[in-house]
Structures are given as structure tokens and as C-alpha cells.
Amino acid sequence: PTLSRDQATERVQAAGGKVTGSVSKKTSYVVVGENPGSKADKAETLGVTILDEAALLALIALLPSP
């Protein structure tokens, strides 16, 4: 991974997204690193889309600037 958690948070927020510390039915995406943990498991159970860093950056690139 090339982004730290803080850098990823900044990019998501700059694109108009909201970053939270928990996963729920209202969560749109969960971004995972090399060793996904229980939040990734919960996201999968809830049917939330799981992204890696490359997918996150690609998604942000497709969004219009806020």
C-alpha cells in the first residue's frame, strides 16, 4: 500500500465522502489493507462493497470534484 490510513481518510473526505470507525447497513464501502480484520468480515456479511487501495483510488478518480 502506498497510502497511510490518514492519507486515505483525507482523500475520501476531499472527494466528499465520510469516514467512520464502524461498519453498518448504511456503509457504502469498506477499504481494506493487506490483512483485513473483523470489519471486513462484517462488511461481507452485510453485503457492503470491499475495496483495496487501487480500487479506492480508481473510484475517487471517477468522482466529480465536490
pLDDT at 1 (0 to 100): 66
Residue bearing cell 473510484:
59
pTM of the model: 0.85
Residue 63 has a pLDDT of: 86
- Cβ atoms within 10 Å, residue 4: 9
Q: What is the pLDDT of residue 66?
A: 63
5-62: CATH, from 3.90.420.10, 3.40.50.10190, 3.40.50.300, 3.40.47.10: 3.40.50.10190
Q: What tens digit of pLDDT does each residue of 16-62 get?
A: 999 999 999 999 999 999 889 999 999 999 999 999 999 999 999 99
Task: Provide the residue ranges of all domains of the chain, joining segments of one domain with +.
Answer: 5-62
Q: Residue 51 corresponds to which amino acid?
A: L
